[in-house]
Amino acid sequence: MSVLAQTATTSAGCPQPGPRVVQERGQREVFCGLTSIVWLHRKIQDAFFLVVGSRTCAHLIQSAAGVMIFAEPRFATAIIDERDLAGLADCNDELDRVVTRLLERRPDIRLLFLVGSCPSEVIKLDLARAAQRLSVRFTPAVRVLNYSGSGIETTFTEGEDACLAALVPTLPASDEASLLVVGALAEIVEEQMRRLFAAIGIAPVAFLPPRRAGQMPAVGPNTRLLLAQPFLAETARALEARGAQRIAAAFPFGVEGTTLWLQAAADACGADRRRLHDAIALPQERARRALAPHRAMLAGQRVFFFPDSQLELPLARFLARELGARLLEIGTPYLHRQHMAAELALLPDDVPIVEGQDVERQLDRCRAAAPDLTICGLGLANPLEAEGLATKWSIELLFSPTHGYEQAGDLAALFTRPLRRRALLRGA
């Protein structure tokens, strides 16, 4: 019996067809949801993210954002200090003062998110009520919403899920038949997708989040909802509660994933399959050509995924099926069986999928397996590199444009770069 089989049980408690899914409970090694502000703030261009947290929260975002110098940054932290924690100051008054000052200084802000953190939750600061109060005060110029980015029992991509879920109740209602693509995509990717949907004959198409607060998409019973990211369980649930119908699909990573994603959308919207094939033939060919050199490097390489971004399953599928990598273990923080059904069906049966984490045990398995490439969070990457393993920071997969045909080569390059670096170091 392998170490894994001794330490974990099947999630349903009985044998199941398809990949072996096991659950692990123990210490976890993940970033909190505040991290997602780093890519979200670039997406909604007139939004501002005000974290209500501690100096630790401020440092986390600053270091996750790297050394970026902004003339007009779109995120900040309202620091809860010792007086607030000791209950000596009225946090609501302080918060109102900070928000008023911010909005006076920045008349360009149309949407303000109050982002909760561990400290704001510890002192039970009611940010939902604060958002309502401030929204009334600043409407119609600014809408104020809130969500939690707290790190207790969450992973960093849940920040995007919580943010988008907070937007759903504000979306206008509509009975019009439409396609709604959900998940923050890089602008260049959104443009490519818009062109592809138009060529396929799918219209109208809207994106959540939109680029501006005034362009919120409408939702209703004739909205077809297409997830672009695999970590949006709450957002999907909220949209479904408003009548939207989710299109079951694989995720648009690599040639295969993008094709299946577009195909599912085309079928759900009644578009012509031949038109779809004509629209995607050239981009598919370009993407396959871009993948070829990376496949030559990745074929046969043994890859180990730690649970971190919730992108693990689609990326493992891409690495195995399009680049010939051998999967050793796929860790994922959570496994949404419905949203992941198409991905699970494409993964090899003999690769263990581990939901949750017991980091010490997983490290033992990783060291014993000695993979050629390990995909993990920042906190594990440096120690593993020091032990001689090549690693890829999973957070980079969120910061870079990776969806769709035109990005397939860049996505593959994120995995071949560490292998190349290690080969150079060994040759030096």
Question: In terms of CB distance, is 156 or 318 closer to ligand SF4?
Answer: 156
Buried b (16+ CB within 10 A) or exposed e, 284-313: beebbebbeebeebbeebebbbbbbbbbbb
As given in the structure block, the two tokens for residue 315 are 């990326």
Candidates 49-57, 171-179, 310-318, 353-361: pick the segment binding ligand SF4 (CB under 6 A): 49-57
Candidates 7-15, 145-153, 307-315, 393-401: pick the segment binding ligand SF4 (CB under 6 A): 145-153
Question: In terms of CB distance, is 59 or 137 closer to ligand SF4?
Answer: 59
Question: In terms of CB distance, is 251 or 393 closer to ligand SF4?
Answer: 393
Question: In terms of CB distance, is 113 or 207 closer to ligand SF4?
Answer: 113
- Smallest gap from residue 27 Cβ to ligand SF4 (A): 14
The answer to whether residue 60 forms part of the interface with ligand SF4 (CB under 6 A) is yes
- Smallest gap from residue 149 Cβ to ligand SF4 (A): 6
Question: In terms of CB distance, is 55 or 83 closer to ligand SF4?
Answer: 55
Q: Which of residues 274-313 bind ligand SF4 (CB under 6 A)?
A: none
- How do strand 302-305 and strand 373-376 relate by DSSP bridges? parallel
The answer to whether residue 56 forms part of the interface with ligand SF4 (CB under 6 A) is yes
Per-residue x/- track, 3-42, ligand SF4 (CB under 6 A):
-----------------------------x-x--------
Task: Please state whether 47 falls in left (phi above 0), alpha (psi between -120 and 50) or beta.
Answer: beta
- Smallest gap from residue 11 Cβ to ligand SF4 (A): 27
The answer to whether residue 117 forms part of the interface with ligand SF4 (CB under 6 A) is yes
- Smallest gap from residue 33 Cβ to ligand SF4 (A): 7
As given in the structure block, the two tokens for residue 4 are 């894994």
Question: In terms of CB distance, is 38 or 227 closer to ligand SF4?
Answer: 38
Q: How many Å apart are CA 9 and CA 11, to the nearest integer? A: 6
Select the residue interacting with ligand SF4 from 118, 218, 363, 378 (CB under 6 A): 118
The answer to whether residue 150 forms part of the interface with ligand SF4 (CB under 6 A) is yes
Select the residue interacting with ligand SF4 from 19, 151, 307, 356 (CB under 6 A): 151
Question: How many residues of this chain bind ligand SF4 (CB under 6 A)?
Answer: 12
Question: In terms of CB distance, is 7 or 56 closer to ligand SF4?
Answer: 56
CB contact at 8 A, 112 and 48: yes
Bridge partners (DSSP) of residue 147 are 115
Q: Which residues bind ligand SF4 (CB under 6 A)?
A: 32, 34, 53-54, 56-57, 60, 117-118, 149-151
